[in-house]
Structure 1
């Protein structure tokens, strides 16, 4: 007699590995999520919000988890006080690195690069709200974001050259020229100089300039506007913007044809059509 054993399928697989992250409890920075907009606050204002080994790895792991979050649609990244991020903590990162051998140093540099990879791989648009100092790894996190809002008093510096390192840190030589052009990127990476808010906007690094006292509110308003849109389709847009860097025009056209066909199967596409017919504004739900 044959006995058939029923297969138990993980509910997470049935749901496409989707999970909730709005209630995430951060250990090394602040996290808040309302109405699909999450705000990450680097919260060491007395030191201009530097990163530590622990905050690096937690940010990397959080952005990796965001690939599966069904209740987070846009992320705002900013720093407490009047500064964004001063980079790696001199005492808690730079000092200890002096004691490491090459294999461990490579483990560290790969880990920092993984933060950028996970920021680019998560489907949520990331808005960096930049005030004051935005230097080193802080400038890299701003670069790795999808959109950047700053103030006239913001000071962005890819300062690796000034501490005896190459400008090719965490993807800077690949990504920065695509944002501001090869010539400007060469200037910024060779000199390590501080770029004021107005120059950063003229160069295309900052999308918008706002008053410092309105920065976070304006960034969150921008995020809520994006979160009210077709968030599944927005995730596809982010994916294609990233992947098409390495494609020919023909490859990009085919990839976009496939991506758009997928989006045409969504309920949001149908909602947009029905709203148009009814002469109403569509209410997107991200599916």
Structure 2
């Protein structure tokens, strides 16, 4: 897969996606949105990719939509054209959340607007001490309802804090992001990618089918009642018990060794 606005590399089962406009803190253009939508959809079919690391080149993670190349041009659009754009941006988040592979965001700097949403749509957020977040849609006269923010953000930080973040659009630093649960870990800038890849390798060595099921049910169970959720988990766990990884986990425990997951048989 080749892209003009992204750097895409795969090494030993881990795909690295780097937003690549460092001079503008990786501001998004129409092309970037289109390529992210396509990439996040295509990754579901890339058998060599087990885990994804998402980050930005240079000092920023992603400063959001480009003021001139996005916002300026959107002011010239009407109706259906505007909806096609907002639907495309939402498809990026949909594809990220529906991807049954873990996504680790390595947030190296500012994550604002759509950039904050790319981090939020990831499964884990490893954050540099220099990182900052801002859900600043209301700052430009838009609703806080952008790219699934009002669906995802309250689930992670709670409805009260989410309301504050999207009403005011204020910038929060890495430590505050960690305090409210938005960041999983905060590390020194020079340790960021090492930590992100360390977690990616741990995930890659884990039971990948079971991790995919876990992500799928995290998405689904928030929308259903307890009984339905319990039935989903009973069926999913029964499927996992038929997989080779379950037998390997048992053998590894009995033999007092680390499990070797993702083999094809139970022998």
TM category, shorter: over 0.9
Q: Which residue of 1 aligns with 2:57?
A: 80
Confirm whether residue 64 of structure 1 aligns to residue 64 of structure 2. no
- Aligned positions of 1:1-287 closer than 5 A: 24-285=1-262
Aligned length: 264
Compared CA separation, residues 167 and 27, structure 1 to 2 (3 A): same
Q: Is the 8 A contact 1:123 1:234 kept in 2?
A: yes
Residue deviations 1:32-69, cap 9 Å, x none? Answer: 11111111000110000011111111111111122222
Does the 8 A contact of 1:128 with 1:142 survive in 2? yes
Structure 1 counterpart SS, 2:222: helix
Which residue of structure 2 lines up, in the alignment, with residue 13 of structure 1?
Answer: none
Q: Does the aligned pair in 2 maintain the 1:126–1:146 contact within 8 Å?
A: yes
Any stretches of 5+ residues in structure 1 without a counterpart?
1-23
Q: TM-score, normalised by structure 1?
A: 0.89
TM-score (norm 2): 0.96
What SS does the corresponding residue of 1:32 show, helix, strand or coil? strand
Between structure 1 and structure 2, the one with the greater Rg is: 1
Give 4+ residue runs of structure 1 displaced > 3 Å after superposition. none
1:63-109, CA deviations, whole angstroms, 9 ceiling, x for partnerless residues? Answer: 11222222111111100111100011112111111111111001101
- The corresponding residue for 1:4 is none
Which consecutive residues of structure 2, in runs of 5 or more, have no partner in the other structure?
none
Contact 2:5 2:21 in 1 (8 A): no
